[in-house]
Structure 1
Amino acid sequence: MKPSTKTRAPEALGQLVGQPVGAVDTPALVIDLDAMQRNLVRMAEFARKHHVRWRPHAKTHKSASLARRQVHAGAAGVCVQKTAEAEALAAGGVTDIYISNEVIAPHKLARVAALAHELAAEGGQLALAVDSPEGVARLAQAMNDARHRHGKPAVIDVFVEIDVGQGRCGVPPGEPAVRLVHDVRKHPALRFAGLQAYHGLAQHLRSPEERRAAVARVVEQVQLTRTLIERQGVAVELVTGAGTGSMVCEAASGVFGELQAGSFLFMDADYARNERDPAQPNFEQALFVKTQVISVQPWHAVCDAGHKSHAIDSGLPRVHGIAGLEYCNGGDEHGILRATGAAKLPLLGDALWLVPGHCDPTVNLHDYMIGVAGGLQAGSVERIVRVDARGAAT
């Protein structure tokens, strides 16, 4: 039987290692490894300076090897949003994982409990967010059931999530959170680890002043909730949250002890639209879609990177390094390139680099990322990065 294309792909990609960047076929998702490493160093330095832990969101890259690299650089562990993401990264050697989301289905909680025991046996730890008494009870039941199947019983860390402005998951701040903390502490298999307080909408407020004002309201709600919990004689060991857009505000708050920023590693066109806070590290664009011009007409050019190669939920990609060249919607397989002002259209066969609008879902469209060192023009392929948790939606 003839091997499938998917079977052959890893071998073909492996042969790219050591070759010049021009050998990379298109469209392809490419990491500028030098820029990524600078981003990683700047994040680690920022966390040390502000005396906070950092637990980057691995849903950005979905790669066990990159998660291990972040931990090696000083990260406390990683966050994910899905049970399947946690399973994929654990299988790749990541041992400290926080599912910063609610899990309710009993069969899925059985997977959470099994993974908690497996990680504990390796000296690792799993954590989960909760926002309902039913969720707490179901998690406790799953952990108790798993104890009968494993020799050494494990304890799972539990963060009570409060809704601090996202309008998504989370109990209201204040007394509802206090009651839920007491529910968690009733169960020996659950350890109350702190509060989850993430305001996703604040990440994309464009001015630093808007982001500071939004996070100031978050801090007020967190402080109120923590005070009420501690009046009950319960320590709130950690408040975790923040994202790439607002992390300087949470770090300066004196309330947050852990930052969950993830997109800083790659950045994207949407984050590039934010006005940079002077206190924020200068994170660089490190993730690109390499594309080639396949057709040129007098009024436009066409490249081979359509929506199958990049997500569009946060807007279309931006053409990197060429002022006045605009990427327009060309459908699944094509991008339309239009020149404005004094800009000229690219030539047939030219290679271009696109900055995706949103890095996380763009990565989820690819099985592998191609790591390039030495620059996008004169560099060479250094490594192939597997997207271990691609499609891990359950």
Structure 2
Amino acid sequence: MRRGVAGLNETWLGARGGRTKLETPALVLDADAFDDNVQTLARMANAAGLGLRPHAKSHKCAAIARAQIEAGALGIACAKIGELLALFEAGINPLMLTAPVASRRKIDRLTEAVARGAEISVVVDRAALVADYAQSAQEAGVRLDVLVECDVGQRRTGVATPEAAVALARQIADEPSLRFVGVQGYAGFVQHVFDHEARRAENRVAMGRLLAIVNALDEAGLPPEIVTGGGTGSHLLDLEDKVLTEVQAGSYVFMDEDYRRVDLHGSGADVFGTALFVAVTVIAHNLHGEAIVDAGSKSFSVDGPEPRAYLDGREIGRITFVGDEFGRLEAIPGKPVPPVGMRLECSVPHCDPTANLHDFLHVVRGDKLEDIWPIEARGLSD
């Protein structure tokens, strides 16, 4: 049973005009823009001869993961074990855990899932973690695919030298319950460099570090089958340079105000459409005559530029946050202030944490509410 506004909004499923009648705050997915985004990157990757392993940290939603796999994705990447297991229970396979862990109990949950049919690969950044995975996999009676996590400049996790990567890969290969399958090098610091050529230069430095590790593994007789990393901001660069064998883009399915500033292809044109919105309702006018809406920092992530507000598809202003529960419309000069009861749709500052604030996605096509999708891994940041 759907709870909250999603339960109320079931009334409008399939109805013309349902999009404009949603109870709010409601997370909204524009199906046309979403479908275009999924197909656009799938076509680009296919043309480049590279794979896609989209990152679920952006959406945490099995229906979206399923659409990505149906479009040709190799599998789905996940940041945390809770997120990964929620998607597995919802029927998604294969899955890659892209961060190291420090809990044997969590590792055991993963290998138990493998014993139940989950196709899971993991990354490691240290010898002790290899040993923990090996023991857990042996006890569960499974064999686990493992990648070496490489620090290509992110300064977060991973080995930084070819020698360390070879040593770790050899340790993995020597464990009967593990299989060395490749390396991961995520250049997260590159993704939001706004200027295309500046971003290209940063990415080439990062991929140069990863290529040195790949070459060392080749020379050591441990060639990586998978070289994974990249993201929405670097997708074109990664598809062109081909250091990676697959790209982990995530935000491209939604897009947000922060990515809107990034010149993805160097042309200044939008590559992916804005598909994610928060529907809000004008609930009052303040003493200055400004519209107050029913969504604040509990409905939007606030770590990005202010949301744009749209009425019937036309931009009418920006939302500034005036509390956890409320926003204020700063209208474009000359635009009329919408009346109490009017529904608006707003872009989001940062799509990943915004999706994590909501239990359901309201899928709309044109003016129709087409479906309501659960966000199965919402809140699972463990």
| TM tier, smaller | over 0.9
Distance (whole Å) between structure 2 residues aligned to residue 77 and residue 60 of structure 1: 15
**Among 311, 315, 318, the residue aligned to 1:326:** 318
Distance (whole Å) between structure 1 residues aligned to residue 26 and residue 270 of structure 2: 28
**Among 265, 281, 288, the residue aligned to 2:277:** 288
Is the 8 Å Cα contact of residues 46 and 281 (structure 1) preserved in structure 2? Answer: no
Is the 8 Å Cα contact of residues 325 and 345 (structure 1) preserved in structure 2? Answer: no
- Which residue matches 2:31? 33
Q: Residues 318, 167 of structure 1: CA spacing in aligned structure 2 closer, same or farther, 3 A cutoff?
A: farther
Distance (whole Å) between structure 2 residues aligned to residue 37 and residue 254 of structure 1: 26
Q: Following TM superposition, by how much is the alpha carbon of 1:250 offset from its aligned partner in structure 2, in angstroms?
A: 1.0
Is the 8 Å Cα contact of residues 24 and 281 (structure 2) preserved in structure 1? Answer: yes
- Secondary structure of the 1:288 match is strand
- Which residue matches 1:151? none
Q: Following TM superposition, by how much is the alpha carbon of 1:343 offset from its aligned partner in structure 2, in angstroms?
A: 4.0
Deviation per CA, 1:271-292, whole angstroms, max 9, x where unpaired? 0111231489720000000111
- Which residue matches 1:238? 226
Trace 1:1-394 onto structure 2 (pairs within 5 A).
Answer: 11-19=7-15, 20-119=18-117, 125-147=119-141, 154-278=142-266, 282-297=271-286, 298=288, 300-320=290-310, 322-323=314-315, 325-374=317-366, 379-394=367-382
Q: Following TM superposition, by how much is the alpha carbon of 1:251 offset from its aligned partner in structure 2, in angstroms?
A: 1.1
Distance (whole Å) between structure 2 residues aligned to residue 357 and residue 7 of structure 1: 25
Distance (whole Å) between structure 1 residues aligned to residue 62 and residue 177 of structure 2: 27
Query: What is the identity, as a one-letter code, of the residue corresponding to 1:284?
Result: G
- Secondary structure of the 2:45 match is helix
Sequence identity of aligned pairs in percent?
36
- Structure 1 runs not aligned, ≥5 long: 148-153
Distance (whole Å) between structure 2 residues aligned to residue 192 and residue 17 of structure 1: 47
Count of residue pairs the alignment pairs up: 376
- Structure 2 runs not aligned, ≥5 long: none
Distance (whole Å) between structure 2 residues aligned to residue 190 and residue 13 of structure 1: 47
Q: Residues 323, 25 of structure 1: CA spacing in aligned structure 2 closer, same or farther, 3 A cutoff?
A: closer
Distance (whole Å) between structure 1 residues aligned to residue 7 and residue 308 of structure 2: 31
Q: Following TM superposition, by how much is the alpha carbon of 1:327 offset from its aligned partner in structure 2, in angstroms?
A: 1.5
Deviation per CA, 1:93-132, whole angstroms, max 9, x where unpaired? 1120001111220111100111122225xxxx21011101
Superposition RMSD on alpha carbons, in Å? Answer: 1.9
Distance (whole Å) between structure 1 residues aligned to residue 258 and residue 270 of structure 2: 17
Q: Following TM superposition, by how much is the alpha carbon of 1:305 offset from its aligned partner in structure 2, in angstroms?
A: 1.1
Deviation per CA, 1:341-383, whole angstroms, max 9, x where unpaired? 4444333332211111111111111111100012xxxx11110
- TM-score using structure 1 length: 0.91
